[in-house]
Amino acid sequence: MPQHPLGQFLAEVQQQVAVPAAEAGRCTFCGASMKDFRAAGRLGCPRCYTTFEGSLRELLRRVHGHSRHVGRTYSAPVPEHREQDTIRGELRERLRRAIETEQFELAAELRDRIRVLGE
């Protein structure tokens, strides 16, 4: 009798998710296992990263498609308009004082920061 497509799919998924024999090891420092990681969602100590490196890379590859970060870099949240106006005003005041005291490098840096915020 042919197997139902859903049953076949679930069997294939179960084979892919099965814990390889290499994952049965334990961290020599804290004694944590990959099974503990899967249950708790976190590793036992910093050395676990080295101990389970291969398993973690494979897990990341399965979840994200790669084991190396290929996404966007962090960018700071943009302040709201009122905050921008306040920041811009403070920067302009600091720029004025920097010019008065002939701190031209600081003045150039402040000028550039004001431009980034938008005049």
pLDDT digits (tens, 9 = 90+) for 93-106: 999 999 999 999 99
pLDDT per position as a tens digit, 18-44? 545 444 588 999 999 988 888 988 899
One-character DSSP codes across 38-80: HHHSS-SSTHHHHHTHHHHHHHHHHHHS-SS--SPPP-PPPPP
How far apart, in whole angstroms, are the C-alpha atoms of residue 106 and residue 33? 53
% pLDDT > 90, the chain: 29
| 8 A C-beta contact, residue 27 and residue 52 | yes
- Would residue 65 be called left, alpha or beta, if left means φ above 0 and alpha means ψ between -120 and 50 degrees? left
DSSP type of residue 30: T
Task: Indicate whether this model's pTM tops 0.75.
Answer: no
pLDDT score recorded for residue 32: 92
Higher pLDDT, residue 103 or 5: 103
Cα dist. 103→92, 94, 95, 110, 117 in Å?
A: 14, 11, 9, 11, 21
